[in-house]
Structure 1
Amino acid sequence: MSKINDLMVRGTDLLGSDYAILCGAMSWVSERHLVSAISNAGGFGVIACGAMTPELLDTEIAATKALATRNFGVNLITMHPQLFDLIDVCAKHDVGHVVLAGGLPPKGSLEAIKASGAKVICFAPTLAMGKKLVRSGVDALVIEGMEAGGHIGPVSTSVLAQEILPTLANEVPVFVAGGIGRGEAIAAYLEMGASGVQLGTRFVCATESIAHPNFKKAFLRASAREAIASVQIDPRLPVIPVRALKNAGTEAFTAKQREVANKLDGGEIDMMEAQLEIEHYWAGALRRAVIDGDVENGSLMAGQSVGMVSEEENVAAIVASLVQQAEAALHARG
């Protein structure tokens, strides 16, 4: 057995994949083509439900099942107004793994997912939250550092790994995410006790990714320092910073925040509606960039590992090179 398989065994047992390499759920990008390709290549693809309706998710899961020969999961956002309907859709399709993102799971949601026999994977932004989630019965955790693309927390991956892995890695499988672009980093986190990793940015320019050629071109040209976090302009607005490549869309988001803050001041909307309006803004801005190729005004969500994305290649080649690099690093260390 290879060293990487040895260290990933808890992750691969949980996921039912050859390698415990999850693909981060990226709205509009992590859809049937990329998800099935990653799972078929031995990794673990995850559908990004995002703001989808239950009907759209139903169609997406069915289409992914038609292409995938291996397990895949579905990522659901905890603040989705129809979360329980989405859980029902996953159960209807016998989805084996549900990833919950975006804060503490609402009351009854973990039980609803587990009732269908599915495994639940949750994001833990702090050690305290990780402990709470483990007590509540989650099957695995993802710890994601601020180097990641899209919605991010304030702490770096290396710090989160040092804080959380020594305490929780023995309790449940923990997947490390954020800024991982090469196998040497995967090897390091596995040696620290992680059961696997999650990567998003590295898969955006895969040949199987439906991202617009303009979107891929922007990734191939970008360096790590161009993937910057958005600024929160009103402390009352529950705006989670988003890491993306800087463009005119970055400025548009600042204006959007002002508009939502004014509505909040005028009593036109409440806090929950404000948060959803921001979420819908991102979904729309991301769609403009990923699907329509408007890389000036859309959102170019990217992690800092974007500088390591240098060519368009197929998913199998990406997975193989990550595994090869990790294996070589582990052997070099003896």
Structure 2
Amino acid sequence: MPGAGSGHSRLAELMRRGTDFLGCDTAIMGGAMSWISERNLVSAISNAGGFGVIACGAMGPDLLDTEIAETKKRTPRPFGVNLITMHPQLAELVDVCTRHGVGHVVLAGGLPPGGAIERIKAGGARLVAFAPALALAKKMIRSGADALVIEGMEAGGHIGPVSTSVLAQEILPEVARDVPVFVAGGIGRGEAIAAYLEMGAVGVQLGTRFVCATECIAHANFKRAFIRASARDAIPSVQIDPRLPVIPVRALKNREMERFAAKQREVAGSLDSGAIEMAEAQLQIEHYWAGALKRAVIDGDVESGSVMAGQSVGMVKREEPVADILRELIDEAAAALSSRG
């Protein structure tokens, strides 16, 4: 932890449980963002003292195997892998993580299928689970989760219905003594990090702040859209048909956000006609988002692609190295703690 002042010492103390759990210097996790949280950004976050997390997303086992191997070439520091619970090859992806000796597996997207948690733990990894509600937090702990991420609706990408500040107040007092808890969603400055640590969190997770890192492979157009945006530009998608449960996605408003409504109507029509089952309908929506996100991140099409961003996007001011982003966050958090005596 840089600096020797009382604020930095207090920050290190409040983060110690998190840094011990992750095996890093600073308990700041990189949010797993598809197409973005790959070998370059993940290794840069870990090399700078944070904890990078690979976004497996829709990758198959072979692609994930390559991504982990390439990340290991770029950093000797610990990093994690985020797996989506609805992935049809989840068991094989867990086996890839086990073969590589990945120390932390992050499960996102709801309750995992039977046997997944046991498979992860048997492979020697620590399990980090997302918990968007207190009841689910307690259930994941009973099921064997070693740590939790509580992420509020201010986050980018798939979001729940409750704000970060409310989730933190509801969940931290109940479970923070039992397992390490990381807070995520809408965090863009160190003062917020300090506040959540004082509430009982052991660390935080940030995604949006890292998109404009020099080491991030996102297209220049994608980064420019972030730098120009304000918090109110990052809006959630709207569910068109109540019969088709679609998890809202937060992204910068553009033509793509309007087109998603048409896509939902198309899929709902197929569901009504019996052409597809509900599981296939939901998978079609997920594949749609994956393709739209790739168009924006990789191809730079920020109008017909999905520019997923959290509401902290207004705090992204420039492109800069990961190490500078982390240093600024740490110094801000330490200054806030120091000012409180």
TM-score normalised according to structure 1 size:
0.99
Match of 1:6 among 13, 21, 26: 13
Structure 2 partner of 1:48 = 55
Q: Does 1:276 align with 2:283?
A: yes
- Structure 2 gaps of 5+ residues are 1-7
Q: Measure how far apart 1:306 and its partner are.
A: 0.1
Q: Distance in 2 between matches of 1:254 and 1:69?
A: 44
Q: Aligned-pair RMSD on alpha carbons?
A: 0.6
Aligned length: 334
Q: Does 1:253 align with 2:263?
A: no
Structure 2 partner of 1:148 = 155
Structure 2 partner of 1:87 = 94
Q: Measure how far apart 1:159 and its partner are.
A: 0.2
Match of 1:318 among 311, 314, 325: 325
- Structure 1 gaps of 5+ residues are none
Question: Match of 2:81, as an amino acid?
Answer: V
Question: Match of 2:134, as an amino acid?
Answer: L
Cα deviations by residue, 1:50-70 (Å, 9 ceiling, x for unpaired): 001111101100000000120
Runs of 4+ in 1 over 2 A off after TM superposition: none
TM-score normalised according to structure 2 size:
0.97
Q: Measure how far apart 1:106 and its partner are.
A: 1.1
Match of 2:123 among 116, 125, 131: 116
Structure 2 partner of 1:39 = 46
Structure 2 partner of 1:71 = 78
Q: Measure how far apart 1:135 and its partner are.
A: 0.8
Structure 2 partner of 1:58 = 65
Cα deviations by residue, 1:56-99 (Å, 9 ceiling, x for unpaired): 10110000000012000000000000000100110111100000
Q: Distance in 1 between matches of 2:110 and 2:245?
A: 12
Structure 1 partner of 2:5 = none
Cα deviations by residue, 1:136-180 (Å, 9 ceiling, x for unpaired): 110000000000000000000000000000000000000000000
Q: What percentage of residue pairs aligned between the two structures are identical? A: 76
Q: Distance in 1 between matches of 2:324 and 2:316?
A: 13
Q: Distance in 2 between matches of 1:269 and 1:91?
A: 35
Structure 1 partner of 2:33 = 26
Q: Distance in 2 between matches of 1:27 and 1:236?
A: 27
Q: Distance in 2 between matches of 1:191 and 1:33?
A: 32
Q: Does 1:238 align with 2:254?
A: no
Q: Measure how far apart 1:238 and its partner are.
A: 2.2
Cα deviations by residue, 1:3-54 (Å, 9 ceiling, x for unpaired): 1110011111110000110010000000000000000000000000000111
Q: Distance in 2 between matches of 1:81 and 1:267?
A: 22
